[in-house]
Amino acid sequence: MADDSLDTKRFPHRHLLGIEGLSRDEIALLLDVSDTYVDQNRQVDKKVSTLRGRTIINLFFENSTRTRTSFELAGKRLGADVINMSVSDSAIKKGETLIDTAMTLNAMHPDVLVVRHSNSGAVQLLSEKVNCAVVNAGDGSHEHPTQALLDALTMRRRRGNIEGLLVAICGDILHSRVARSNILLLQTMGARVRVIAPRTLLPTAIENLGVEVFHDMKVGLKDCDIVMMLRLQTERMHGSFFPSVREYFHFFGLDYDKLSAAKPDALIMHPGPSNRGVEIDSEVADDYSRSVIHEQVEMGVAVRMACLDLMTRGIGDDPDQRNL
C-alpha cells in the first residue's frame, strides 16, 4: 500500500554528490520513495506529472548504458523534459572547459544536471558553479551514489533489511566508485562489509573505512549474504595490476566453487557492465536463482526517479535556484 506521508517529505540536500553526508534516515527515505516507483514502473501506464515543467540535462563525459538510460527514463516517467548530452557531440570537442560547458547549460535554466565525469571531484566542482541541483552519476573512482542506492534497494527488497547483512565486495576496489559508495551506505545502514581483492587492487589503509579485508575468495566469502562482484576498470589502470586475466579469474573470478563458501541463498550482484570469464563465470552470472543483476537494473530506474523527485521538491521556493 502506498505511504501517503512520503508525498510531503523533503530531501534536505540541494545536490546528491555522494553517499558521504547522507544520514540513515535520508537513505531510508530515498529507498522508501523508490519502492513506490518500482510499483509504478510495473504498471502499463508508467508516466506521472510530478516533474512537469522541469528540465533535466544528462551530461556524460564517460560512457554509460545503465545510468544514462535510467536517468532519462526516470525523468521522462516523471513528466520532465530530458536532454542528453555526450562529450562527442558537444563544444568540448572545440576546446570548451568543463566549467564553461556547465555554465552555458546553467544559463538555459535546467532544474537538474546529472553529471558523469572521469575525474574524482569534478561533479562537486561543477555543483559549486551552477545554481541548479546536481546529481553525481559517477565521478572517477570517488562516488556513484545512485548505484549504491539501487544496490541497497535490491538487497532490502530481497532480504527485508540491510542491517545485519554480511556483504562481500570483490575485485577491483582500488578504482571503484561503486565500492566506495556501497561501503559508506551499507555501513550507515548497519551491514558488515568485507572487501576481497589482490593487494594491488586495494586502496592503502582501506581498513580505515571499517571494512574487513581478505585476499582469498573462499575465506572472504564464508557465510556472506551478498556477493558483489566488480569489473576490472582497465580504463583507470596505468601499469600492471595483475599478471594475466587468466590468473585473475583463477583466483578472483566468481565461479560455483568459490560461491559455495557463501551462504547457500547468497545473492550475486554486479553493477555492470560485467566481463564474463574475467570477474564472473558466465554460468554464475546467468543463474537467476541467485543472480539479481537484472533486478539491480530495474531498481536503478526507480531509485533515480526517487532522487529526481525528492531533490526537486521545493526548488521553486528558493529564488537563488531560479535566477542567474
Contacts to ligand CP by CB under 6 A: 64-67, 138, 147, 271-273
CB of 23 or CB of 65, closer to ligand CP? 65
Q: What is the b/e burial string over 263-281, where b = at least 16 CB atoms within 10 angstroms of the residue's CB? A: eeebbbbbbbebbeebbbb
Tell me how far, at minimum, the Cβ of 114 lies from ligand CP, in Å. 11
Question: What is the closest distance, in whole angstroms, from the C-beta atom of residue 269 to ligand CP in the complex?
Answer: 11
Q: CB-wise, 18 or 271, nearer to ligand CP?
A: 271
Instruction: Report, in this order, helix, strand and coil percent for the chain, each rounded to 5.
Output: 45, 15, 40
Q: Is residue 220 within 8 Å of 170, Cβ to Cβ?
A: yes
CB of 291 to ligand CP, least distance (A): 15
Beta carbon nearer to ligand CP, 147 or 182: 147
What CA–CA distance (Å, rounded) separates 58 from 117? 11
Nearest partner of 67 among 54, 56, 55, 58, judged by Cα:
58
- Residues 1, 92: Cα–Cα separation, whole Å: 47
Q: Which is nearer to ligand CP, 137 or 266 (CB)?
A: 137
- Local structure of residue 235 (DSSP, 8 states): G
Nearer to ligand CP, 261 or 279 (CB): 279
Q: How many CA atoms lie within 13 A of 169 on its CB side?
A: 31
The CB-of-300 to ligand CP minimum distance in angstroms stands at 8
Report the 10 Å Cβ neighbour count for 86: 16
Q: Choose between 135 and 261: whose C-beta lies nearer to ligand CP.
A: 135
CB of 219 to ligand CP, least distance (A): 27
Closest separation between CB of residue 235 and ligand CP, Å?
11
